[in-house]
Homo-oligomer: A and B are copies of this chain.
Amino acid sequence: MLSVNTYEKEFLQLLKKISQYEQAINVMYWDMRTGAPKKGEEYRSEAIGQLSADVFQMRTSKRMKELLDALSEQKENLPHDTQKAVEEAKKEYELNSKIPEDEFKEYTTLTSKAESVWEEAKTSSDFSLFSPYLEKIIDFKKRFITYWGYEGHPYNALLDLYEPGVTVKTLDALFSELRESIVPLVQKIADSPQKPDTSFVNKHFPKERQRELCHFFLAELGYDFHAGRLDETVHPFQITISPGDARVTTAYNESDFRSAVFGTIHECGHAIYEQNIDEALSGTNLSEGASMGVHESQSLFYENFIGRHPGFWKRYFYKIKEASPEQFQGVTAEAFYRAVNESKPSLIRIDADELTYPLHIMIRYEIEKAIFSGEVSVEDLPKLWNEKYEAYLGITPPDDAKGILQDVHWSGGDFGYFPSYALGYMYAAQLRANMLEDLPAFDQLIENGEFQPIKKWLTDHVHVHGKRKKPLEIMKAATGEELNVRYLISYLEEKYTNLYL
């Protein structure tokens, strides 16, 4: 029989090979989204498909199973990181291997077709085009849930894909507390006579100046340009190519500079996370963020707690003014800060402000939960969607394009994903509260442009661990308590009372 060391070595080599294939896939994807020529698109999709299939094969191979079995048996003799890597690979193996291969192929074909159907449906604002696909995707997902198994609510199986350890029970409690505080606050703000002047926001801001600003802010915030780059795209994203290469993309809108400036600061948070994961984890399946939600906690921390902080604009408003002097003639840093923190109910999630954003998430959470408990049929979804927007935000979508068809997620079968956006926000606020104890001069640091201590705190408590720890373990270790939504509520109440009331 081979020694545990031999198995460990082979296992780690296999993980490394997988990570190298993922590097290839990610470069090809990044390239496709940042300027690859049109005529190469189909060849590119096919090549990505081939390499993805090869990765799937490696992750679910007989040899992988043998290695995982052998290593699991001798778990106590393995180094800590290898134990965690085995757990992670095993989870992945089971998720993938429990679904019959033919069924998975059919599902993959369905979702890749569904995305273009969804696009068409959104363009013509016609839910009936998309609903037959959505119905089939939901049926697949329901079967997958039975293959995987679950405890409590069937939706838990989907939540676990994105936020291991988080359940319907946890979310119901957190969201209900959050809703009770936010809904009245949103109402009070709507009634407040004190509104920011936003007349200068949508004036022309030259693209080239936006690009320079984005580079500037990334560098200021501690993004390492020797381990990444910034490029233009249509739908911005952060992508990690390798442990030495965490890239940021952004979109420049000349009549709304906010998308590039705040979008870049958001992706910067993701990228700084990736740039500061322990290098010892390189080439393993632990060299990534702990979860979708923890990742989002970092991007939201940078975007909102730093990028929308009054001290940040006290320091940097002159840069904005320099970049587009006509637009900001006569505008003060204070007025700018108020304008970029405007809050009002809106229909589109991705355009929502900090305060109303969680409500968009809750609506999606409640609808997804209802879908998987079988309480709502697909045909009734638009009605349910619109009712919830009226109840939580006081507005009703005029059509499905601005309502239930706005997000791409469901067309790709990504149910259970939305809650991570709100969880990320809660994590971020709880981390911030604890950081304030260690760094009482937090506000002053931001006003001074001294981001290094803030980055270091986040690295020490979050980034460095990669996927060694589960999301709730990270929170517990970093903050000494379970996830607690009060931190987010206090933050929002304080900020928006100051701004509006």
Contacts and interface: CB of A to CB of B under 8 A. Distances in A.
Interface of A: 17, 20-21, 23-25, 27-28, 31, 35-44, 46-47, 50-51, 224-229, 241-245, 282
B20 A244 contact: no
A46 B282 CA distance: 12
A243 B43 contact: yes
A30 to B, nearest CB: 8
A40 B227 CA distance: 6
Contacts of A242: 40, 43-44, 47
A244 B47 contact: no
Nearest to A28: B27
A21 B224 CA distance: 30
Query: Copy number of this protein in the oligomer?
Result: 2
28 contacts: A17-B50, A20-B47, A20-B51, A21-B51, A23-B28, A23-B43, A24-B25, A24-B28, A27-B28, A27-B31, A31-B31, A35-B229, A36-B229, A36-B241, A36-B245, A37-B228, A37-B229, A37-B244, A37-B245, A38-B226, A38-B244, A39-B226, A39-B227, A39-B245, A40-B244, A43-B241, A43-B282, A47-B242
Contacts of A35: 229
A422 B27 CA distance: 36
A169 to B, nearest CB: 41
A226 B50 CA distance: 24
Contacts of A40: 227, 241-245
Contacts of A21: 47, 50-51
A32 to B, nearest CB: 9
Contacts of A23: 28, 43-44, 47
A226 B25 CA distance: 22
Contact of A39 (B17, B20, B224): B224
A43 B229 contact: no
Contacts of A228: 37
A61 B40 CA distance: 29
A63 to B, nearest CB: 16
Nearest to A275: B39
Contacts of A245: 36-37, 39-40, 43-44
Contacts of A229: 35-37
Contacts of A36: 229, 241, 245
Contacts of A244: 37-43
